[in-house]
Structure 1
Amino acid sequence: MNLKSLLLAGGALLSGTAASAGGYQVTLAGQKNNGMGGVGVGLSLDQAAMFYNPGALAMVKDRGVQVGVNLTLARNAFVAEGSNQQRELRNSYTTPLNFYAGFGPAEGKFRAGIAVYTPFGSKLQYANGWEGRTSLTDIDLKSVFVQPTVSYAITDQLSVGAGLVVLAYGAVNLQRDIALPDSYGHVELDGKADTKFGFNAGIFFKPSDKLSLGINYRSKIDAVVKDGDVTFSGIPASFSSRFQATKFNATLPLIATTSVGLGIMPNEKLTIGFDASLAQWSKYRVLRFDFDQQVNGSTVSESKRAYQDALTFRLGGQYKLTEGLTVRAGGAYDQTPVQDGFVTPETPDNDRISGTVGASYSFGKFGVDLSAQYVGIQKRTQTQNELINNATTDRIAGTYKTNIVIPGIGLNYAF
């Protein structure tokens, strides 16, 4: 048994940030933005500016409170190299959330607020007995970020802002089967991440009523998992001495992301946005885990990642049909950070293309926002020869294909 496969799925804990490409992460931080392809860096739509560009918050006309929830429904199919049998995921879903509250004087230049969002999370359950069962059977990731934010309009055209990003809660549960001479055992790893801090800062410039520009930087955070639980089951007594670990530690990097955005408002009814982001995934080279006791003769597990920096491009717009009704549409193209021969079951990733639609209806100070996304991840094949050449045989050769559907709803109140 190769120890590297024990915690292959652990990399998914940090396989993406909300503004990056890679993994199962899709930008779901604001319901209006979701309907516009995920744009927002160069716009000042609503309180979700705290996430997309804190510098734009001071330019948001209304103070307010908003809450949103999304439902991610992923379909993943896998065909092993040399096989014609297609394996599919068991049904699973996640529910990313977002909450924003913005405050400040009605006519003033200062705005402050609090944001709560879930920028990454994943739940995958592969078919029972699938070919990659010794790499991964189940993964369940959860995270909650909290961001107190301040923003100030230096002039009527220029504003700046920053937020303290707090990894308030992070949890990971990973499971896989263990190949034994006459049977399979099972291992489950369950851990919580320590509270860690980063920052989110931005600048927003609106030279005219028809044009706006923004730049945003989200810092790297090292998420540290200490004393995670390791539980073995189905291990015969004759092999139990080889699987003694009960705890693991790991430090996993949430990489930095830089984004620029452009907003164009040809008239009072139409808004168009374009964003480009660079995720610094090249910092993620190796995934290492340390165990309190031996696992098959070793207390250390390392798995190659060798990620590369990835770009994301987003385009979207909204049109105000009536005083109360606004409609939206958009799309995105994400480059994958995962190189050939380094694909893992928890991130069967490739370049992806997304399409989005959305709508809002306001009832005075109250409003409801609807959005829907379709994410198509291009088919990804890796061969056994690629795994051998890259010394990454702790994963499986074959072809992955993933599609994701994401409906969402939000409520907002302006004051």
Structure 2
Amino acid sequence: MQAKSLLLTGGALLAATSGALASGFQIGLSGQKNIGMGGTGTGLYLDQAAQFYNPGAFAFVGYSSFQAGINMAVPRITFRPEGGGTGQETLQNKNVFPFNGYAGFKVNDKFQVGLGAYVPFGSELHYGHGWTGRYTLTDIKLTSVYVQATAAYAITPQLGIGAGLVMLAYGDVDLQRDIPLQSQNGTTAHATLSGKADHKFGYNVGIMYKPSDKLSFGASYRSAIDAHVSGGDVRVSGIPAAAASSFTATNFSATLPLPDVYSFGVGVRPNDKLTLAFDANLVRWSKYQALNFTYTGGVLGGAGVTSSSSVRNYKDAVALRLGGQYKVTSGLSVRAGGFYDFACVRDGYLTPETPDADRVGLTAGFTYEFSQRFGIDGSFLFEDFRQRSQSQADLVANGTTDRVAGTYKTTISVPGIGVYVKF
């Protein structure tokens, strides 16, 4: 049996089926106000989360504050194998809780500095016992935390620039799958790959231009980060004695390229109560062409097999976002938005942990200020993925038989809440 068929496949090192707000396995839940406005934030500034969306816009925040938010992603993913098989199969879906937090400090009228933390990737999925794709994936649990230090400067009252140093501060992954072998007592063999990601650095830069109080333009760039797991643990169980010599590897290493993102945005303020925003994001997923594993301490899947590769062949993807905010009273603002996000995974390349598809998102939110210094933000996102299928003939033609043929359908609901304190 070839090692390629034994891989815990997918962009699953630091990825997730339940990634929300972006193609592939991104999660864009990095600011409660921004979520409520369809994930916009490049062409305007709403609060300290501008550090993530556009460091150039952060230059105009103009006050010091601390804010924190948490979301609960509730995915529902179903799968129907090609030809009907056992009928529709539903994941034992687990909720995940991405968080975000920012501290921003006004140094003077032109200079702003800040520190932020957010969770761009994370999931916990458990497929049902004996499901059709159990030899591709049974369980995935992962966590990642990014930290960003940001500085921004308003060159003029109309022009601001900013930059952030980004670090993958913490990454943890646990992937599991069954192996098509049975032990002497009849149990199915099982494999687990787990490990922690190395610390890696990237950057985030942006610019904002405000020709008037009613109009603003922004652009930002977030660099790619190669998430690398080295010295990860390989554990197998239920291997029959006759095949034991083919499963002796104890460690693995692998690298997942997390793509760079170009964003462009416009903010419009027709009057003092209404704010409108439009964003376009280009995510360079084409960097992700294959997922390669290297094994140490032995072999995995056959004599002499110490490495393997699984094709991905992703393509660049675009997302279009629209949002609005209306100030109902001096203390209450409401928001709504939506987006359309194009899939980055090509036909015939879907994996159980990333069944990507074109998707539509609808959002809503509010802010209530209890005083000039303290307030609460609420947000809600509903994301509907188009149903997507792949056949066994597609997998054979693409050389992707390390995954499963059938039809996926995904929806995600994400309520969220946050608080802020100005000082």
TM-score of the two chains, using structure 1 as the length reference? 0.97
> 2:12 is paired with a residue of what secondary structure?
helix
2:103 maps to what in 1?
Answer: 101
2:301 maps to what in 1?
Answer: 296
Distance 1:20 1:13, change over 3 A: farther
2:422 maps to what in 1?
Answer: 414
Alpha-carbon separation, structure 1, partners of 2:270 and 2:202: 37
Alpha-carbon separation, structure 2, partners of 1:13 and 1:189: 10
Task: Please say if 1:7 is aligned against 2:15.
Answer: no
- How many residues are aligned here? 414
2:79 maps to what in 1?
Answer: 78
Q: Pick one of 401, 404, 408 that aligns with 1:400.
A: 408
Alpha-carbon separation, structure 1, partners of 2:238 and 2:168: 35
Q: Is the 8 A contact 2:62 2:106 kept in 1?
A: no
Amino acid at match of 2:156: T
Q: Is the 8 A contact 1:56 1:159 kept in 2?
A: yes
2:38 maps to what in 1?
Answer: 37
Q: Displacement, 1:93? A: 1.2
Distance 1:2 1:268, change over 3 A: farther
Superposition CA RMSD, Å: 1.6
Q: Displacement, 1:253? A: 0.7
Amino acid at match of 1:245: A
Gaps of 5+ in 2: none
Q: Is the 8 A contact 2:126 2:140 kept in 1?
A: yes
Distance 1:300 1:20, change over 3 A: farther
Amino acid at match of 2:73: T
Task: Please say if 1:269 is aligned against 2:273.
Answer: yes
Gaps of 5+ in 1: none
Task: Please say if 1:346 is aligned against 2:348.
Answer: no
Q: Is the 8 A contact 1:20 1:278 kept in 2?
A: no
Q: Is the 8 A contact 2:62 2:112 kept in 1?
A: no
Amino acid at match of 1:214: G
> 2:361 is paired with a residue of what secondary structure?
strand
1:131 maps to what in 2?
Answer: 132
1:259-310 Cα offsets, whole Å, 9 max, x none, are 0011000001111111000011111111100001211221111000000000
1:280 maps to what in 2?
Answer: 284
Alpha-carbon separation, structure 1, partners of 2:282 and 2:13: 20
1:128-163 Cα offsets, whole Å, 9 max, x none, are 100000000011121000000000000000000000
Task: Please say if 1:378 is aligned against 2:386.
Answer: yes
Q: Displacement, 1:223? A: 1.3
Q: Displacement, 1:184? A: 1.9
1:338-380 Cα offsets, whole Å, 9 max, x none, are 0001000110111011001101100111000000110111101
Q: Displacement, 1:397? A: 0.3
Please give the residue correspondences for 1:148-163 in structure 2 after superposition, counting only pairs within 5 Å: 148-163=149-164
Q: Is the 8 A contact 1:360 1:368 kept in 2?
A: yes
> 2:281 is paired with a residue of what secondary structure?
strand
Alpha-carbon separation, structure 2, partners of 1:217 and 1:303: 29
Alpha-carbon separation, structure 2, partners of 1:188 and 1:397: 23
1:233 maps to what in 2?
Answer: 237
> 1:130 is paired with a residue of what secondary structure?
coil
Q: Displacement, 1:27? A: 1.4
Alpha-carbon separation, structure 2, partners of 1:6 and 1:143: 25
Q: Displacement, 1:177? A: 0.2
Alpha-carbon separation, structure 2, partners of 1:115 and 1:339: 34
> 1:93 is paired with a residue of what secondary structure?
coil
Q: Displacement, 1:124? A: 1.4
Q: Displacement, 1:19? A: 9.8
Q: Pick one of 69, 89, 92 that aligns with 2:91.
A: 89
Deviates more, 1:9-18 or 1:356-365: 9-18
2:362 maps to what in 1?
Answer: 355
Distance 1:22 1:3, change over 3 A: farther
Q: Displacement, 1:13? A: 3.0
1:186 maps to what in 2?
Answer: 190
1:387 maps to what in 2?
Answer: 395
Q: Displacement, 1:224? A: 1.3
Distance 1:122 1:9, change over 3 A: farther
Q: Is the 8 A contact 2:67 2:102 kept in 1?
A: yes
Task: Please say if 1:115 is aligned against 2:116.
Answer: yes
